[in-house]
Copies of this chain bind each other. A is one copy, B any other.
Amino acid sequence: MLSLPLAHQMGGRHVLLVGCGAVGMTRVDKLVPTGCKLTVVAPEVDAGLAAYMPGGMEVAAGATWVNKGWEPGQVYRVARREFAAGDEGLEAFAFVLACVPAGGLGARVHALSHARGVQCNVADVPALCDFYFGSQCALGERGLQVLVSSNGAAPRLTALLRADIERRYAALDWDEMCGRLRALRERARALSTQAGLPAEEALRFRMDWMRQVTDAFGLEHCAAMDVERLAGLFGEMAAAAAAGRPRALPADLVSVYTESST
């Protein structure tokens, strides 16, 4: 069976992490940058956790600390103690993760989470994983995220492919591409409602147009597309379509509508 890869929007949502050693810390590094509210329950915590605490503060062994002035990018709660039944219900957790030594604790966390209908991942125990983290990389700072999963079958192979993708595509300016494509999409969305096409037709026209334009520019040229002039072209083509005289994209689209060539 295939897995279902999904990109979750975690802003402000609660996540529970039980155990925060070296493996747990790799989870923290993936979770906190999503803007989620992370609760950590662990008697000992990796030194790296301090990077996500306000002022790099530390929580004393045995103590529980709640981040009253929580901001995205920070840990929300740290309880420096062993996991106890009920912790899985401290908040309405979207996900529960356990990174604990082999033994019964992982299975207990998993069972308690399931009893509340919360999906759970126990590191290194595939039978107790409702989801996998796979191998992941980011292209650009605010660009794309890539997840490679083998459904637990071959983690080293996913790591190899992830590394290859990272190497191969690192040189492209993903943030610039993302920014220009988003700007063009927003301009086209605004213009398509003004062009006089009925709502459903306007949507289809815009989607088709964006697809043809991005396919023409390709990964190589998107970072240099001239958004303003392309938006103008879109407006003309949408108006022509609304008037029943649809026009095709110019054959020299990429060379004419690339910024460096103007």
- A contact residues vs B (CB 8 Å cutoff): 1-11, 13, 30-31, 33-36, 72, 92, 94-95, 102, 117, 119, 129-134, 136, 138-139, 142-154, 156-161, 164-165, 168-169, 174, 177-178, 181-182, 185, 199, 210-211, 214-215, 218-219, 222
Contact = CB atoms under 8 A, between A and B. Distances in A.
A42 B3 CA distance: 25
B9 A160 contact: no
Among A7, A31, A33, A102, the one with the most B-chain Cβ atoms within 10 Å of its Cβ is A7
A145 B92 contact: no
B132 A9 contact: yes
A147 B222 CA distance: 20
B156 A5 contact: no
A219 B164 contact: yes
A151 B156 contact: no
Contact of A131 (B1, B9, B117, B136): B9
8 contacts: A4-B8, A6-B95, A6-B131, A7-B133, A145-B149, A150-B178, A157-B181, A165-B165
A154 B181 contact: yes
Contacts of A182: 153-154
Given A144-B149, A214-B159, A5 B219 contact: no
B33 A1 contact: yes
A44 to B, nearest CB: 16
Contacts of A147: 5-7, 146-147, 149
Contacts of A150: 143-145, 178
Contacts of A5: 5-8, 134, 136, 145-147
Most-contacted residue by chain B among A144, A148, A218 (CB, 10 A): A144
Given A130-B8, A214-B159, A72 B1 contact: yes
Counting chain B CB atoms within 10 Å of each CB, the highest count among A35, A131, A168, A215 belongs to A131
Contacts of A154: 144, 177-178, 181-182, 185
Contacts of A178: 150, 153-154, 157
A177 B151 contact: no
A36 B119 CA distance: 15
Contact of A8 (B3, B36, B160, B165): B3
Contacts of A156: 181, 185, 210-211, 214
A207 B151 CA distance: 18
A203 to B, nearest CB: 8
A132 B7 contact: yes
